[in-house]
Amino acid sequence: ETGVTQTPRHLVMGMTNKKSLKCEQHLGHNAMYWYKQSAKKPLELMFVYNFKEQTENNSVPSRFSPECPNSSHLFLHLHTLQPEDSALYLCASSQDPQGSTLTDTQYFGPGTRLTVL
Amino acid sequence: AQTVTQSQPEMSVQEAETVTLSCTYDTSESDYYLFWYKQPPSRQMILVIRQEAYKQQNATENRFSVNFQKAAKSFSLKISDSQLGDAAMYFCAYRSSYNDMCFGAGTRLTVKP
């Protein structure tokens, strides 16, 4: 059983819909991440949260809105997406905030397969 | 900027044989970590092995080992005695104190029975 869970596993939405992706980590970690995985492209880091505070936003369009209410939960709110946003969205967590410990390893959830029609 | 390159989009190996997946990276830093992650069809990304750049000894985890050539900026993964369950996408990744995790595009490994 993975320490990082994501729901839903699959999501189909229209461009005018509003939906949210949820991630929960059961590992007692302090940092959480959102990645986008598109076909034949390297994973793209979208957002980083350390101790519930957003520390990274890698030029992600505003139609993606993250929320981290506590160190165990991370959401990605979606609205007015485009078909090119269709991808696998992966959540990850790590014990220490990025940059503080070089040995830190990220643990990934199973992902949400998003299709935008 | 750091980049990670996996030049083999697809590889195949016969069950019980050995296969090596290639990875090269570009960095100007001297202290960093390298990782290999496995992503099976179930999509769960799993850490396979990691290597500290300051260590000369190659990391080993059971059937998985790396060939780390720091001067050449090469970090290949060797899978010995390949099993059907090894079939997956394999991602090489780099991380330093000053930079985010950077992933390669992945290599799809097929294991033939």
Q: Name the CA dihedral angle for B41, B103, B112, B77, rounded to a multiple of 10 degrees.
A: -140
Q: For residue A58, what is the nearest residue in chain B, using CA coordinates?
A: B100
Chain A partners of B32 at a C-beta cutoff of 8 Å?
102
Please, which pLDDT band fits residue A1 given cuts at 50, 70 and 90? very low
Q: Is B78 left (phi over 0), alpha (psi -120 to 50) or beta?
A: beta
Q: Which of A105, A107, A112, A113 to mutate to test the interface with B (most CBs of B within 10 A)?
A: A105
Tell me the C-alpha distance between B110 and B83, whole Å: 10
pLDDT at B55: 85
The average pLDDT across A9-23 equals: 93
> Chain B within 8 Å of A107 (Cβ-Cβ)?
yes
Chain A partners of B50 at a C-beta cutoff of 8 Å?
105
pLDDT at A19: 95
Asked whether A47 and A56 are in contact (CB, 8 A), the reply is: yes
Q: Write out residues 26-55 of A within 8 Å (CB-CB) of B.
A: 33, 40-43, 45, 48
pLDDT at B43: 73
pLDDT digits (tens, 9 = 90+) for B24-46: 999 888 888 899 999 988 778 88
pLDDT digits (tens, 9 = 90+) for B66-95: 999 999 999 999 999 999 999 999 999 998
pLDDT at A8: 96
Tell me the C-alpha distance between B45 and A90, whole Å: 9
pLDDT digits (tens, 9 = 90+) for A93-115: 988 765 555 556 888 999 999 99
Chain B partners of A5 at a C-beta cutoff of 8 Å?
none
The average pLDDT across A65-70 equals: 92
CB contact under 8 A, B97 and A102: yes
CB atoms within 10 A of CB B6: 23
pLDDT digits (tens, 9 = 90+) for A46-62: 998 887 777 777 789 99
Chain B partners of A113 at a C-beta cutoff of 8 Å?
43
- Mean pLDDT over each residue of chain B, to the nearest integer: 91
Q: Which of B45, B46, B52, B54 to mutate to test the interface with A (most CBs of A within 10 A)?
A: B45
Chain B partners of A58 at a C-beta cutoff of 8 Å?
100
**CA B34 to centroid of chain Cα atoms:** 8
